[in-house]
């Protein structure tokens, strides 16, 4: 099978898995407890790394751009630049990549271990649908948690940028806050919430698909985990381009 055929086949199977996960929710049981548990694992568990990533991203943005803005006499707009960059691009993408590395790998490893230890077969033998019990709660949890984590990354990044501009470049805090507020528009808020929604769907679908498709014993679990993180990251970056273009057209985004 060629590389293109393999890619199309995996896309088909991944799409079918995601469709089945949502379609089967129309009938009970719906496993709400598992959804809440996964939201806690994904959201609360990922908050520290998201805070750290967002904070230093915002700080670096100010370090890299303040002097360039000052050259054109626009240093007062550094807060607007940081907020604009975080809301439209860096916040959703970095949060997605961090969650893909931390949560996507964990989901794949967990499901892969269940496959090689025949726990999935045991669930089917007992009449439990593994797609409904294992896949659907994880995807739903990612759809809920990742947009919230993106907001955390954005706020943390703005704080990091504000501290850097204050204590390294001596920019007045009120000036920074004023320029930040200018950039927090309805369109930017929509962008920063829509992108991670799709990224969460990508991470959950890819991680569950790779986990359930694990073969080759414990060695296969490691291989599936690596492939899951790599594929999720690549798809997020590619999807970001098309989402950005689509949102520009739909929302009529301008500078």
pLDDT, tens digit, 9 for 90 and up, residues 55-82: 999 999 999 999 899 889 888 999 999 9
CA separation, residue 56 to residues 22, 154, 185, 255 (Å):
37, 11, 23, 25
Domain membership of residue 121 (yes or no) is yes
Query: Considering its fold, how many domains does the chain have in total?
Result: 1
Domain membership of residue 13 (yes or no) is no
Q: Where are the alpha helices (DSSP H) in 117-135?
A: 119-125, 130
Please give the residue range of the domain that contains residue 174: 29-251
Domain membership of residue 14 (yes or no) is no
Whether the predicted pLDDT of 129 surpasses 80:
yes
Domain membership of residue 104 (yes or no) is yes
Domain membership of residue 23 (yes or no) is no
Domain membership of residue 243 (yes or no) is yes
Does a cis peptide bond (omega within 30 degrees of 0) precede residue 247?
Answer: no
Other Cβ atoms closer than 10 A to 99: 29
Q: Tell me what pLDDT residue 38 has.
A: 94
CB 155 within 8 A of CB 54: yes
Q: Tell me what pLDDT residue 217 has.
A: 82
- Sign, CA dihedral 36-195-210-22, equals positive
Domain membership of residue 3 (yes or no) is no
Mean pLDDT of the chain: 92
Count of all residues that appear for the chain in the document: 255
Tell me which residue has tokens 């959703």: 92
Phi and psi at 185, nearest 5°, equal: -105, 165
């Amino acid at each position: 099978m060629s590389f293109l055929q393999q890619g199309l086949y995996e896309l088909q199977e991944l799409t079918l898995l995601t469709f089945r996960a949502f379609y089967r929710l129309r009938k009970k049981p719906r496993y709400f407890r598992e959804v809440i548990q996964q939201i806690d694992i994904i959201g609360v568990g990922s908050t520290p790394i998201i805070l750290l990533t967002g904070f230093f991203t915002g700080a670096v943005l100010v370090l890299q751009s303040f002097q360039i803005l000052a050259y054109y006499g626009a240093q007062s707009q550094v807060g607007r630049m940081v907020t604009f960059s975080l809301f439209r691009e860096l916040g959703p993408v970095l949060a997605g990549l961090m969650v893909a590395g931390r949560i996507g790998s964990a989901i794949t490893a967990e499901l892969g271990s269940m496959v090689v230890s025949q726990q999935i077969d045991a669930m089917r033998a007992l009449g439990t649908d593994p797609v409904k019990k294992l896949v659907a709660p994880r995807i739903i949890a990612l759809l809920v948690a990742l947009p919230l984590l993106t907001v955390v990354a954005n706020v943390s990044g703005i704080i990091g940028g504000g501290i850097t501009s204050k204590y390294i470049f001596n920019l007045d805090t009120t000036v920074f806050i004023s320029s930040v507020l200018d950039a927090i528009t309805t369109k930017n808020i929509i962008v920063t919430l829509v992108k991670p929604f799709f990224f969460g769907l990508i991470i959950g679908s890819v991680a569950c698909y790779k986990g359930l498709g694990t073969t080759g014993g414990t060695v296969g679990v490691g291989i599936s985990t690596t492939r899951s993180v790599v594929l999720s990251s690549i798809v997020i970056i590619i999807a970001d381009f098309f989402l950005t273009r689509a949102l520009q057209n739909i929302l009529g985004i301008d500078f």
